[in-house]
């Protein structure tokens, strides 16, 4: 039976570059690869899968939250590659799991594991529950040499722990950080908010 893989990492860990390199290698061997991405990710263009190093490709399939994947559309493929998989709904992840059984195509999903509050995205959680293989795409913290495991969000240059879970952004909005630097930044933010709340008017 084909397998479902989840390759996760923080922002700036070269997940999309990894995906595009895998797609290139498959196609170089004359194999059929399908590129999938969530429709809501429009940072680089509606159907674009882009890496910060300059590699890019057009997605073959755009997926909405309420999409249902038909296994017949995946027959004859050698691999399915999914970008920004954290934005997919749990039901779409389950459809991808079924595709590995019938028609029996391996699926490799790339994405974030957790959001800027260190909470699992619903799509990532379902992948952690269902994937045959879970691999980390590693990058170092923006502020030290430790491994980054958190995504620190900024608003107007300041760290924040408030706002919607999904907020598209790039280098100016997020930084990959280790737990120490995440904790320091967010605890200071929480202290500032508490101080502002307690300050007399």
Domain range for 82 is 4-138
- Write the DSSP symbol of residue 48: E
Tens-digit pLDDT profile for residues 135-167 = 999 999 999 999 999 999 998 888 998 887 877
Q: Is residue 37 part of a domain?
A: yes
Residue 194 lies in a domain: no
Question: Does residue 147 fall inside a structural domain?
Answer: no
Please count the structural domains in the chain: 1
What is the three-class DSSP state of 193?
helix
pLDDT at 164: 77
Residue-level pLDDT at 172: 59
Annotated catalytic residue within 56, 75, 84, 136: 84
Q: Looking at residue 147, what is its pLDDT?
A: 97
Considering the entire predicted model, what is its pTM? 0.88
User: Would you state the pLDDT for residue 15?
Assistant: 94
* CATH of residue 134: 3.40.50.300
**pLDDT of the chain, 201 residues: tens digit per residue:** 899 999 999 999 999 999 999 999 999 999 999 999 999 886 767 788 877 777 889 999 999 989 999 999 999 999 999 999 999 999 999 999 999 999 999 999 999 999 999 999 999 999 999 999 999 999 999 999 999 999 999 988 889 988 878 776 555 588 999 999 999 999 876 555 444 433 333
Half-sphere exposure of 108 (CA within 13 A, CB side): 20
Flag whether 40 is in a domain. Answer: yes
Q: Is 56 a known active-site residue?
A: no
Please give the pLDDT value at position 165.
81
Report the pLDDT value the prediction gives residue 128, as an integer from 0 to 100.
98
Query: Closest Cα partner for 121 from 21, 6, 20?
Result: 6
Q: What is the DSSP-derived secondary structure letter of residue 105? A: -
How far is residue 44's CA from residue 52's CA, in Å, rounded to a whole number?
10
Task: State residue 192's pLDDT score.
Answer: 56
Reduce the DSSP state of residue 25 to 3 states and report it.
helix
User: Does a structural domain hold residue 110?
Assistant: yes
In this predicted structure, what is the pLDDT of residue 158? 87
Q: What is the pLDDT of residue 198?
A: 36
Q: Cα 135 from chain centroid?
A: 13
E-assigned strand segments in the chain: 4-8, 33-38, 48-50, 56-58, 61-63, 79-82, 107-111, 133-136, 150-155, 158-160, 174-177
What was the pLDDT predicted at 79? 98
């Amino acid at each position: 039976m084909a397998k479902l893989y989840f390759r996760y990492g923080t922002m700036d860990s070269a997940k999309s570059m990894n995906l595009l390199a895998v797609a290139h290698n498959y196609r170089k061997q004359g194999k059929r690869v399908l590129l999938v991405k969530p429709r809501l990710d429009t940072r680089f263009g509606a159907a674009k899968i882009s890496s910060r190093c300059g590699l890019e490709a057009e997605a073959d399939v755009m997926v909405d939250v309420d999409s249902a994947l038909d296994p017949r559309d995946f027959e004859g493929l050698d691999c399915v590659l999914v970008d920004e998989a954290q934005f997919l709904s749990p039901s779409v992840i389950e459809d991808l799991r079924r595709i590995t059984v019938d028609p029996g195509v391996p699926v490799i999903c790339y994405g974030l594991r957790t959001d800027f509050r260190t909470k699992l995205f619903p799509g990532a959680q379902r992948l952690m529950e269902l994937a045959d293989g879970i691999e980390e795409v590693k990058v170092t913290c923006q502020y030290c040499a430790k491994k980054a495991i958190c995504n620190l969000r900024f608003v107007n240059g300041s760290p924040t722990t408030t706002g919607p879970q999904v907020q598209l952004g790039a280098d100016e909005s997020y930084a990959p950080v280790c737990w120490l630097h995440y904790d320091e930044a967010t605890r200071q933010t929480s202290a500032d908010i508490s101080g502002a709340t307690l300050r007399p008017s």
